[in-house]
Amino acid sequence: MKILITSSLYPTPLAPKVVGGAETFVRRLAETLVGQSDSVEVIRAASASNQQMETCNGVDVYSAPVHNIYFPFAKQHSAPVRGIWHAIEDWQTMSELVANRIKAFKPDILHSNNLSGLTTAVWRTAAELGIPVLHTLHDYYLTCPRCSRFSDGHACEASCMSCQLLTFRRRGATRHLDAVVGVSQRILDIHTQLGLFTQTPLKIVIRNASTADVGSEPTAMTNGTVTFGFIGRLTEEKGIYNLVRAIATIPPDRIRLVIAGHASESERMHIKELAPNARIEFLGFVQPKQFYEQVNVVVVPSIWEDPSPLVVADAQAACKPLLGTPFGGIQESIEPGVTGWLTSPDPASIAKSISAILDAPQQVVEMSGRLKSGINKWAFDDVVAGYRNVFEQLTRGRGMPRT
Q: Residue 368: which CATH number? A: 3.40.50.2000
Are β-strands 179-182 and 202-205 bridged in parallel, bridged antiparallel, or unpaired?
parallel
Total number of domains constituting the chain: 2
- The strand ranges marked E within 58-183 are 59-64, 109-112, 133-137, 150-151, 154-155, 179-182
- The reply to whether 217 falls in a domain is no
Question: How far is the C-alpha of 49 from the C-alpha of 67, rounded, in Å?
Answer: 11
Is 66 in the same domain as 199?
Answer: yes
Long-range pairs for 149-155 at CB < 8 Å and ≥24 separation?
Answer: 149/190, 149/304, 149/305, 150/237, 150/303, 150/304, 150/305, 153/236, 153/303, 154/303, 155/303, 155/304, 155/305, 155/327
Is 244 in the same domain as 197?
Answer: no
Backbone angles phi, psi at 157, to 5 degrees: -90, -20
**Is residue 97 within a helix (H) or strand (E), and if so which, with residue range?**
helix 96-105
Is 21 in the same domain as 170?
Answer: yes
Backbone angles phi, psi at 204, to 5 degrees: -140, 170
- The reply to whether 186 falls in a domain is yes
Is 244 in the same domain as 110?
Answer: no
> DSSP label at 238?
G
**3-state SS assignment for residue 27:** helix
Is 46 in the same domain as 161?
Answer: yes
- The reply to whether 342 falls in a domain is yes
Q: Which domain holds residue 277?
A: 227-373
- The reply to whether 331 falls in a domain is yes
- The reply to whether 302 falls in a domain is yes
Is 161 in the same domain as 254?
Answer: no
Q: Which residues of the chain have pLDDT under 50?
A: 399-403
29-53 pLDDT, tens per residue?
Answer: 999 999 999 999 999 999 999 999 9
pTM equals 0.94
Question: How far is the C-alpha of 351 from the C-alpha of 360, rounded, in Å?
Answer: 14
Is 384 in the same domain as 369?
Answer: no
256-313 pLDDT, tens per residue?
Answer: 999 999 999 999 999 999 999 999 999 999 999 999 999 999 999 999 999 999 999 9
Question: How far is the C-alpha of 145 from the C-alpha of 164, rounded, in Å?
Answer: 9
Q: List the Cα angle 265/271/273 in 5-degree steps.
A: 100
pLDDT given at position 398: 64
- The reply to whether 303 falls in a domain is yes
Distant-in-sequence, close-in-space partners of 69: CB < 8 Å, separation ≥ 6: 81, 84, 85, 88
pLDDT given at position 399: 46
Is 23 in the same domain as 150?
Answer: yes
Is 354 in the same domain as 389?
Answer: no
pLDDT given at position 366: 95
- The reply to whether 10 falls in a domain is yes
Is 163 in the same domain as 239?
Answer: no
Is 308 in the same domain as 160?
Answer: no
Rama region for 311: left / alpha / beta (φ>0; ψ in -120 to 50; rest): alpha
- The strand ranges marked E within 326-379 are 340-342
Is 299 in the same domain as 278?
Answer: yes
- The reply to whether 177 falls in a domain is yes
